[in-house]
Amino acid sequence: MQIFNTLTRRKENFKPINEGKVGIYVCGPTVYDFIHIGNARPMIVFDTLRRYLMYKGYDVNYVTNFTDVDDKIIRRANEEGVDASVISEKYIAECKTDMKSLNVMEATTHPQATKEIPDMIEMIKVLIDKGHAYEVNGTVYFRTRSFADYGKLSHKNIDDLESGHRDDDHALKVSGEDEKEDPLDFVLWKPKKEGEPSWESPWGDGRPGWHLECSVMSKKYIGDIIDIHAGGEDLIFPHHENEIAQSEAANDTEFARYWMHNGFLKIDNQKMSKSLGNFFTVREIGEKYDLSIIRFFMLSAHYRSPLNFSDELVEAAKNGLERIQTAVSRLSDMEKTYVSGELSPVIKAAVDDYIKRFEAAMDDDLNTADAISVIFEMVKYANTNIGEGASFEDVSCMKTAIFKLCDVLGIVAEKKAEVLDSDIEALIAERQAARKAKDFARADEIRNQLSEMGIILEDTREGVKWKRA
C-alpha cells in the first residue's frame, strides 16, 4: 500500500513500525456544538483507512481525541450559565451519535484533554528542563527556534513565518500579557482567568495549550512514535507543526512516520461560514438525507482533493448508492429461489478480478473514488450476467463480494426496511414512559434506535413530534 506523506510530499510504501500492527492518531473536534459537515470528512476518510487496514489483516489501534477545554467551550458554558464540563460532555455524546449515523466505528480510545492534564504537566517539565520551553508570569511558552526542524511538515521557512495563533494565543497578545522571547513561540500552559476551569501546576493554576494536548494523548495511547497521524489540511500549520516540535523535542525521537491530510470541503463552491448562511451541522444534513448517502458522497472523491458539497452532487450520490442497493436487493431475492449448483468459473474469475482491482485502488493512496467505480462495474456485471441459468453459488459469490467491498468503505449495501408509523409511535410511547420513570438510559437508547431508523424526534411543549429523514 502507498500513502501520500505530507511530510515528504510524495507517495511512499506503507511499512508499520511493528509488523502486523498500526497506530493511527486523528485529531478530533472541539466539543462546544454539534459537529458540522466539514468535521465529518476526516471522520469518514480516516475511518475508511482504518477499515481497509483491518481488511488487510492489521491490528489497528485507532485513537481520536475530544478537545474538551477551549475558549469556545468556556464561552458557550458562560452563555448558558453552566460548568464547561456540562457543555463538553453533552456534545461528546451528540458527536458520538452523529458518528454512529455516519457509520464511523468507535475509536479504540477516545481520550479527553481534561483527563490527561497530569501527563501534560510532565511533558512541559521535560521541555523546560531541556531548554525548549520557558515560563513568564504563569504562562509557559515553547521556544520554537530551539527545534531545528521547525517547518518540516508545512514546508515553511522559519524566518518567513508569523506565529500561528489560535484564539487563546491571540487573547494573550491583545490583553498585553504576551511576553514571548520570540513572536514564533507558542503557548504550552496558560494562567487561569476568572470564570475558567483550571488545574494546579508548578507555574500556577491554569490550563494546557491546544497543541500540547494531542502530543500527550498520542504518546500515552499509541507511543512515542505514531505510524500514521491524520487530520484536515487546515491543521498542518500551526497545529501539527507544533505537535512535531514539542513531541520530538521532549521524546528525542521521530513523532510520526506518515502524515495524511484530507482536502477542504466547500458548500456550493464557497467556503463554509455562518456569515454566508451556508454552515450546516451533520444533524441538519441528516434531516434532509440519510447519512449513509453523505458517507457515500464523501468517498466518491479522492480524500486529498477539495470537495464541493451541493444538493445536486448529493442527489447524484443518492442515486449511485441506490443503484448498488437495488442490485444487492435483486441478488438477495435470487438467493431465496435459485437452486444450488456449481460456482461458474467465469463468475468466480470476474469476482476475483474486481476484488483485485478494488484493492489496487485502495492501495494507491486510499483512492476510494476508483474503488467505488469498481463496485459500480460489479453491479453492472451482476445485472447483465447473473440471471436465469445462474446457480445459488453464482448469486451468493457476487453478492458476498459486493457486501465485503462496501463494508470496507463503510457503505451500507442493503436498503433499510420501511418502518411503519405504528412502530414509530409505539417506540415514542415507550420512550415517554421511560423518561417519566426517570430511566434516561433507556430513553436515550430508544432515541438512538429511532435515529438509526431514519426518524428524527423533536421534543416540544405540545409533545414529541417526529419526521422521517
Task: Give the DSSP H or E segment for 242.
Answer: helix 241-251
Does residue 172 register a pLDDT over 50?
no
Contact 341, 275 (CB under 8 A): no
- Taking the alpha carbons at both ends of the chain, their separation in whole angstroms is 38
Could you tell me if 393 and 303 lie in one domain?
A: yes
DSSP 3-state of 441: helix
pLDDT at res. 171: 39
Residues of the chain with pLDDT > 90: what percent? 80
pLDDT attached to residue 244: 98
Indicate whether 186 and 300 sit together in one domain: no
Distance from CA of residue 455 to its chain's centroid?
Answer: 24
The angle formed by the CA atoms of residues 160, 164 and 170, to the nearest 5 degrees, is 130
91 shares its domain with 142: yes
Predicted local distance difference test score (pLDDT) of residue 434:
87
User: Would you call 9 exposed, middle or buried from its count of C-beta atoms within 10 A (0-12, 13-18, 19+)?
Assistant: exposed
Closest CA to 410 of 57, 107, 22, 101: 101
pLDDT tens-digit readout, 326-341:
999 999 999 999 999 9
End-of-domain residue from the set 209, 230, 262: 262
Cα–Cα distance, 411 to 71 (Å, whole number): 36
Asked if pLDDT for residue 370 goes beyond 90, the answer is yes
Which pLDDT score is estimated for 153? 97
**Mean pLDDT of all residues in the chain?**
93
How many structural domains are present in the chain?
3
Question: Would you say residue 55 lies in a domain?
Answer: yes
Lowest mean pLDDT, pick from 95-99, 162-166, 386-390: 162-166
Quickly tell me which residue has 448469486 as its cell.
Answer: 395
Task: Examine the domain organization and report whether 146 and 245 are in the same domain.
Answer: yes
Would 464 be classed as within a structural domain?
yes
Specify if 155 maps to a domain: yes
pLDDT of residue 62: 98
In a domain, residue 97? The reply is yes
| Predicted local confidence at residue 175, as pLDDT | 40
Report pLDDT for 168.
46
Q: Residue 464's pLDDT is what?
A: 85
| pLDDT grade for 158, boundaries at 50, 70 and 90 | confident
Clarify whether residues 405 and 438 are in a common domain.
Answer: no
- The DSSP call for residue 181 is S
Instruction: Assign 173 a pLDDT band (cuts: 50, 70, 90).
Output: very low
For residues 16 and 119, membership in a common domain is answered with yes
* CB-based contacts of 424, cutoff 8 Å, min separation 6: 450, 453, 455, 466
Q: In angstroms, how far is CA 223 from the centroid of its own chain?
A: 21
> In Å, what is the CA distance from 457 to each residue of 8, 46, 163, 249?
48, 30, 45, 50
Q: pLDDT digits over 400-431, tens only?
A: 999 999 999 999 998 876 667 888 888 888 99
**Given this model, what pLDDT does residue 347 score?**
97
| Beta carbons of 199 and 206 less than 8 angstroms apart | yes
DSSP state of 310: -
In this structure, how many other beta carbons lie within 10 angstroms of the beta carbon of residue 205? 13
- Nearest one of 41, 65, 124, 125 to 300, comparing CA atoms: 41
Q: Does some domain include residue 268? A: no
| Predicted local distance difference test score (pLDDT) of residue 170 | 43
177 belongs to a structural domain? yes
Whether this model's pTM surpasses 0.75 = yes
Q: What is the mean pLDDT of residues 24-36?
A: 96
Tell me: do 174 and 63 sit in the same domain.
yes
- The residue with greater pLDDT, 457 or 339, is 339
Position 178 scores a pLDDT of: 61
User: Which letter does DSSP use for residue 131 in this model?
Assistant: T
pLDDT at 169 over 80: no
Phi, psi of 438 (to 5 degrees): 60, 25
**What is the extent of the structural domain holding 448?**
421-468
176 has a pLDDT exceeding 90? no
Residues 342 and 381 in one domain: yes
Pairing relationship of beta strands 59-64 and 21-26 according to DSSP bridges: parallel
In this predicted structure, what is the pLDDT of residue 273? 81
Q: What is the pLDDT of residue 266?
A: 94
pLDDT at 418: 62
Which three-class secondary structure state does DSSP give residue 73?
helix
Are 238 and 196 in the same domain?
yes
Instruction: Identify the CATH number of the domain in which residue 319 sits.
Output: 1.10.730.10
d(CA 380, CA 410): 21
Q: How confident is the model at residue 164 (pLDDT cuts 50, 70, 90)?
A: very low
Do the domain assignments include residue 415?
no
Question: What CA–CA distance (Å, rounded) separates 68 from 77?
Answer: 12
Extended beta strands in 67-114, E state: none
pLDDT score at 444: 86
292 and 231: one domain?
Answer: no
Mean pLDDT of 157-176: 54
**Peptide bond preceding 238: is omega within 30 degrees of 0, i.e. cis?**
yes
**What is the CATH number for 16?**
3.40.50.620
Same domain for 461 and 382, yes or no, is no
The full length of the chain comes to 469
Same domain membership, residue 126 and residue 12:
yes
Residue 270 inside a domain? The answer is no
